[in-house]
Structures are given as C-alpha cells and as structure tokens.
Amino acid sequence: MVSLYAASKKIYPRSVEGIFAYWRWIFVVLTQLVFYCLPWFEWGSRQAVLFDLGARRFYIFGLVLYPQDFIYLTGLLVISALALFLFTAVAGRLWCGFACPQTVYTEIFLWIERKIEGDRSARMRLDDGDFSLEKLVKKWYKHLIWIFFSIWTGFTFVGYFTPIRELAMEFFLTRMSSWELFWVFFYGFATYGNAGFMREQVCKYMCPYARFQSAMFDADTLIVTYDTERGEPRGPRSKKADVALENLGACVDCTLCVQVCPTGIDIRNGLQYECIGCGACADVCDTVMDKMGYPRGLVRFSTQNAMDNKWTPQQTWKRLMRPRIQIYTMILGAIVIALLVSLGLRTPFKVDVVRDRSTLSRITEYGTLENVYRLQIMNATEHAQTYKLSTRGLPGLKITTEKEILVEAAQARWVVLRADIPYGSSEAGSHKIQFEIAAQGTDDVVVEKSVFIVPR
C-alpha cells in the first residue's frame, strides 16, 4: 500500500539578521502600529476610522461615505490590484515577504516562540524531548501569550466596526453582544491558528496569489536567486582553503539558507512557488560570505536576464523600468489622481427621490393636480445642515410641503414631498421634472430627476 498522504513536517526557522530582516521588521512594526492604534483615534466627537455597517456609513477621518459611494471602494480595490501587479512585476512577491498579514503575524508569533523556547535547535530539542515540567511551563506560557495576542487582535478588528471605546467598556463589564463576541473570538482564533500552527501551509496550499504569481513575472523581475555559476560545486572547506585548487564554488554547503527559510525550501534548487521572497536566505548567506571572506551576494535579489547576461546592478536597475512597468505606473497614477479628484469634488450630501407608488396623481381640495414623492437626504458632513428644495420642469409646478429640511450631522432623513400644478395646465402623460436640493450657506447643489404624472 502506498499512502498518498504525507504529513507536513514542522519547520523551525532559524533567526536571522540582515538588511531584509531589518526591512521586514520595519513593515511588521508599521503595519501593526497602524492596525492596533488607528481605531483609538478620535475625529471630533467620533472614532476617526469606523465602518458602521448597521447604520450603513463608513467614517474615514473627515470623510463620511454612504452605500452610494461604493464607487470609491471599487476605485480603491482597482488601485490595490494594480499596485500588486506593479510591485510583483518589479520585485516578485514583495507583498508576501514583507507586508502580508500572514507573514507579519507569523513573524510576531515566531518572535514570541523564540523568546520563550529559544532559537531553532533549542525548539527542536524541546519538541523532541520527553515530557518535563520545563516543557509544560514553556508551552503553556507560549500559548497563553499567543492567545492573549490573538484575542487582542480580534478585539481590534471588531473595533473597526463597533466604536472601540464602547466595545472595551462592554468587554470589561462582560456585556458584549453575542455577535461582537463571536467575531472577536473568530478573528482571534484565525490569527492563533494561522500564525501559530498553519504558518507556511497557508502560503503553500491556501493562498491563491502564490498560484498566479508566475503569470506576472518576466525575465526582468527581481527574484531571490542563487548564483549557481559562482556557488557550484558546493562543499565544506576550511576558511584558508584555496577554492581554485580544490575545485570548489563559493557555497560552503552550510545549509543555513534552508534553516532560515520560513517555507523550508532550498533556494539552491532554483525559484520555487513556495518562495515568498522574504530574503532571509540572502541575509544569512551574506553573513556566511563575510565570515569566509568571500564577496556577498551568492544568494541575492536579481533577475533572470541579469544572471544570464552577467549584468551589473546599474544595468539591472535600468532594465527594471521597462515599458510594461511604465505602463502600469501610468495607469496606476491616472486612477489614483482620478480617485482623489473625484473625492475632492464630491458633494457632501446625497439625495434619493422616489415616487409614491400608492398615489399616482390626485386632485386636491384647492383644485390643483398633485403628485407625491418620498425624498431621502443623506448629510455626509459632520454638522447639522439645512437643505432648500425647489422644483422645475412644468408650468406652475411648485412644492406644497416643507421646503427647508434640517438633517443632523452624518444622518439621513426621509421626508414626504408633495408637488402640484394648476389643473389642466399640462397635457396628460408622464412629464420629466427636476428637484433641486441646495445646502444652505454653501454652493453645493444636487439635481434629481423624476416624473410628474398627469392623468387623462
């Protein structure tokens, strides 16, 4: 019997220092500072960034967005997708190696693990060793901190959808709603499971991005590469050995590049889909090269063309700005500018006019012909605002209900609007009319189209 199932082997990445490790930690700190601190910022009397799904309103600093502003979210998604294409075409899986939440949380969880259980060999010894009090204490301690951190992460996540200060109060008074509690623990559990246990398996088996990345690579994309020509034949040697005499390449076969790899691959076998481009192997190999007194860069970020044609770093960087990259950059720049301009020109209120379906048209006690509408005004500003209503499109058309509507800050209000014309002043049929809604004290005006029905 041949089993088709192979249990995955646990990976114990060795800690590493170097330029790429430094930048990875910069991104860990920056992204997490933003994630954990942002919901605590206030903007006036409300949370600065809040996605209030119940009230169907998104607050992003000075912006109040309604479901009608969905186009901006679409724009943001298009920008994110294009930015991903651009960065991948330039430098491969930059996002995966440096900013993806899976990488960032795995890095944090690994850091906690190292602080408690030690580096690679100590962790392997501890896992292989028999049960002991030390093992029990270390494991419990580690999981306790992981769980605390995960719940804090879940709590922060929910704090983007429910005011976080109220949520904190409810949490301490054990008065959280069942849904809030569910999402805190669900997101916390996902963090704990993905960063504590699944780790590289999420990248290898679950993330779709790893599958289509090769479609975005070309021979001028920066990838982590092993310089086979320089490194082979590999083999151990003393520091003083004459490599030419012993017919050896620069690789001392120390396997440190494999030991630091968070996905457990050997970069010397060439580019593999598991490689997340974190550069840990390049960092550790540079330290080995330094110790041996060899030039750095046996494992480095380079391109296929640069390796094949033995380009200098200047030639490689020059080639990076190829037409494809220029086109991506131009499209991305144009969409970003268009989004910013449209946000800048956005009217700070929205209006919806719908005809009252229960009354098509009726003759009033004053002998006029009346149509009834329902009008919704959404105030997207942070202060109460009065709106003046007027209408045009038919001779004698006028509004007979309230013409000035007060809407509280960041609120929406439905009002019934009646409009009439002198009886017999227009032919029977459906006539196009317009409602003009002007925010008092500003130049902001919205014109909404509708129809006025004159029966036969």
Interacting residues toward ligand SF4 by CB under 6 A? 224, 226, 231, 251-257, 260-263, 265, 267-268, 275-281, 284-285, 288, 298-299
**Cβ of residue 153: shortest distance to ligand SF4, in angstroms?**
24
**Cβ of residue 411: shortest distance to ligand SF4, in angstroms?**
50
Distance of CA 152 to the CA centre of its chain: 19
End-to-end CA distance of the chain: 86
Of the pair 97, 159, the CB lying nearest ligand SF4 is at 97
**Cβ of residue 268: shortest distance to ligand SF4, in angstroms?**
6
Check if the beta carbon of residue 180 is closer than 8 Å to that of residue 162: yes
Q: In which residue are the tokens 């390449």 written? A: 249
- Which amino acid type is present at position 262? P
Check if the beta carbon of residue 103 is closer than 8 Å to that of residue 276: yes
**Cβ of residue 449: shortest distance to ligand SF4, in angstroms?**
57
List the strands of the sheet with 429-439, edge to edge: 404-407, 385-392, 429-439, 445-454
Of the pair 285, 378, the CB lying nearest ligand SF4 is at 285
Of the pair 267, 437, the CB lying nearest ligand SF4 is at 267
Q: Residue 380 CB: number of other CB atoms within 10 A?
A: 22
Of the pair 180, 283, the CB lying nearest ligand SF4 is at 283
Of the pair 221, 371, the CB lying nearest ligand SF4 is at 221
**Cβ of residue 112: shortest distance to ligand SF4, in angstroms?**
20
**Cβ of residue 199: shortest distance to ligand SF4, in angstroms?**
12
Of the pair 261, 372, the CB lying nearest ligand SF4 is at 261
**Cβ of residue 274: shortest distance to ligand SF4, in angstroms?**
7
Check if the beta carbon of residue 318 is closer than 8 Å to that of residue 414: no
**Cβ of residue 249: shortest distance to ligand SF4, in angstroms?**
9
Of the pair 266, 352, the CB lying nearest ligand SF4 is at 266
Q: Residue 67 CB: number of other CB atoms within 10 A?
A: 11
**Cβ of residue 117: shortest distance to ligand SF4, in angstroms?**
21
Structure tokens at 284: 């550790």
Of the pair 89, 265, the CB lying nearest ligand SF4 is at 265
Of the pair 203, 437, the CB lying nearest ligand SF4 is at 203
Of the pair 89, 224, the CB lying nearest ligand SF4 is at 224
